[in-house]
Chains A and B, each alone.
Chain A
Amino acid sequence: MTPTSEDDRLLIEAAQADPARFLEIYERYVDRIYAFVSRRTGDRAAAEDVTSQVFEQALRTIGRFEWRGVPLAAWLFRIASNALADHWRQRGRDAAGPPPDLPDSGELDDIDRRLALYQQVAQLPEVQRRVIEMRFVEEKSIREVAAALDRSEGAVKQLQLRALENLRKSMGGHG
């Protein structure tokens, strides 16, 4: 669900009055920002590092965010874009280049499609969800997953196929 500008305004005012309310902004936008950053970095450690920087900077600077009707997501994407530029600068790439572009509408659609997919992961049967997380997040081999779940490698491969099929079906026309 895309937050409305009124939701954004209330969230910002709440976080400016009480820093603890910043966590609501985090909960609402962390998946979206991670999805954007992850596409641009390619590796998980870098994506997590940059995403952390984005939210830590957002927390530091929320006090001087002036509400002018610009969506909160756009502000966070701008911070993310600069953090990505720093990331590449530190790695010696594109040292003199401009910051990465903000996401265009095609990329935003792509991010939304992925967020919908990720929400479906949480709906999978528990054991299928664990297989997906261990394979894709923890990057474990079939043998390691089998050992962790105390199942045969064949059974884990079958669970993996079922999980991917369930996700494809649940995405319907979006897949």
Chain B
Amino acid sequence: MAERDLIDRVNETVDAIIARDDATIALRDPELAPLARVAADLRHYVSPDFKARLRTTLERRTSMTTMTTPTAVREGFTTVTPYIRVPDPGLIEFLTQVFDAQETFSAAGGGGGMHREVRIGDSMLMIGEGSDAGGIMRIRPMAFHVFVQDVDAAYARAVAAGATALGEPADRHYGERAGFVRDPFGNHWYIATPLGPQSLASSQRAVTPVLHAKGAGEYMDFLTRALGAVEEIRAPGPSDEVRYARMRVGDAAIELGEADSMPGSFMLYVTDPDSLYQQAIAAGCRSIMPLSDQPYGRVGGVEDPIGNQWFFSRPATPPA
């Protein structure tokens, strides 16, 4: 075959391969076949541009994960602290009666009420009392998974303190004896005592916030992009939905599950609030509080697409 002829026939074969047309005729031609096989393999040659783009994306994700690693968090706090807004005083009494909560700090807050910080076991919660009119944080109930020594006793104390029963204590298939209540302000408390060593309790603090989300799987991907959250557990339900999941943000855990969204507010103590704020905005959050320097530290806030509010703060006085 003259070279001119071979050049054109190879080119026709390449055209057919690129167009996913039938190129098998080339494989029957002894001169063309070895080149056609090489060309057929090249159709699956990975694009160098694609590889570079994906590398950049992954690099950004990994730097996010590193950024939320708490190296200068506020002493006594993990990276994520739930912030419960309630209209009136009273929640702290409920938490004291049921979970033996200790108030560690209080000061006048926004909305004419008090800002309080309470410890339950090894976990911290923040409570904002007073009207949310004109404020940034809205009054909305949140959900929590709480480990206690004796779930039956804690459940009874909760009901006695005015909670509504959502589920009597019972042995659950996931290795906990658990009972569920709604406090007088609407917050959900999933109270649990581990049944065996394989329970989550061994790797979790006393109180873990639970994010109910419609489309929890996609929301988990979002949290990875926005906050550098790292998936630790994902248990699918019968329709492949997220029945239960746990993610880690810095040194704090959050739990998630598929349900009607029940958004709340969270304070994140991080070394670099500016970068995290920008990253959350880039991922699709909207700004609700531009970054600024306050007496207690540098702080800014965003709201994500399902309504959770995330405030990023670097404390003014670094821990000793």
Contact = CB atoms under 8 A, between A and B. Distances in A.
B48 A133 contact: yes
A138 B47 CA distance: 8
B58 A136 contact: no
20 contacts: A19-B65, A19-B66, A23-B59, A26-B54, A31-B46, A34-B44, A44-B47, A47-B44, A52-B54, A56-B57, A59-B61, A60-B230, A61-B231, A113-B41, A136-B45, A137-B46, A157-B7, A160-B7, A168-B38, A175-B34
Interface of B: 6-8, 10-11, 14-15, 18, 20, 34-35, 37-39, 41-51, 54-55, 57-59, 61-63, 65-66, 221, 224, 230-234, 248
B194 to A, nearest CB: 19
A19 B229 CA distance: 12
Given A30-B46, A34-B46, A64 B38 contact: no
Interface string A60-99: 1101100000000000000000000000000000000000
Contact of B248 (A63, A114, A139, A142): A63
**Secondary structure class of chain A's binding surface, majority of residues:** helix
A129 to B, nearest CB: 10
A160 to B, nearest CB: 6
A97 to B, nearest CB: 14
Interface residues of A, number: 51
B46 A20 contact: no
Given A20-B62, A44-B47, A157-B8, A132 B42 contact: yes
Contacts of B57: 52, 56
B46 A42 contact: no
Contacts of B39: 136, 164
B61 to A, nearest CB: 6
Q: Which of B11, B46, B51, B61 has the most CB of A within 10 A?
A: B46
Contact of A38 (B14, B46, B248): B46
A30 B38 CA distance: 21
A9 interface: no
Contacts of B233: 64
Given A160-B7, A160-B14, 11 more contacts: A19-B61, A19-B62, A20-B59, A27-B55, A48-B54, A117-B41, A118-B46, A135-B18, A136-B43, A154-B7, A164-B39
A30 B48 CA distance: 11
The B interface, classified by DSSP as helix, strand, loop or mixed, is helix
A48 B45 CA distance: 11
Given A20-B66, A132-B42, A165-B35, A64 B232 contact: yes
Interface of A: 18-20, 22-23, 26-27, 30-31, 34-35, 38-39, 42, 44, 47-48, 51-52, 55-56, 59-61, 63-64, 113-114, 117-118, 121, 132-133, 135-139, 141-142, 154, 157-158, 160-161, 164-165, 167-168, 171, 175
Nearest to A167: B38
A114 B39 CA distance: 11
A60 to B, nearest CB: 4
Given A135-B14, A164-B35, A118 B45 contact: yes
Contact of A136 (B18, B231, B248): B18
Nearest to A61: B231
A157 B42 contact: no
Contacts of A139: 18
Contact of A23 (B58, B66, B232): B58
Contacts of A138: 47
A64 B233 CA distance: 8
A26 B57 CA distance: 11
A47 B57 CA distance: 17
A121 B45 contact: yes
Contact of A60 (B8, B14, B231): B231
A55 B47 CA distance: 16
A171 B58 contact: no
A121 B64 CA distance: 34
Nearest to A26: B58
Contacts of A135: 14, 18
Contacts of B224: 56, 60
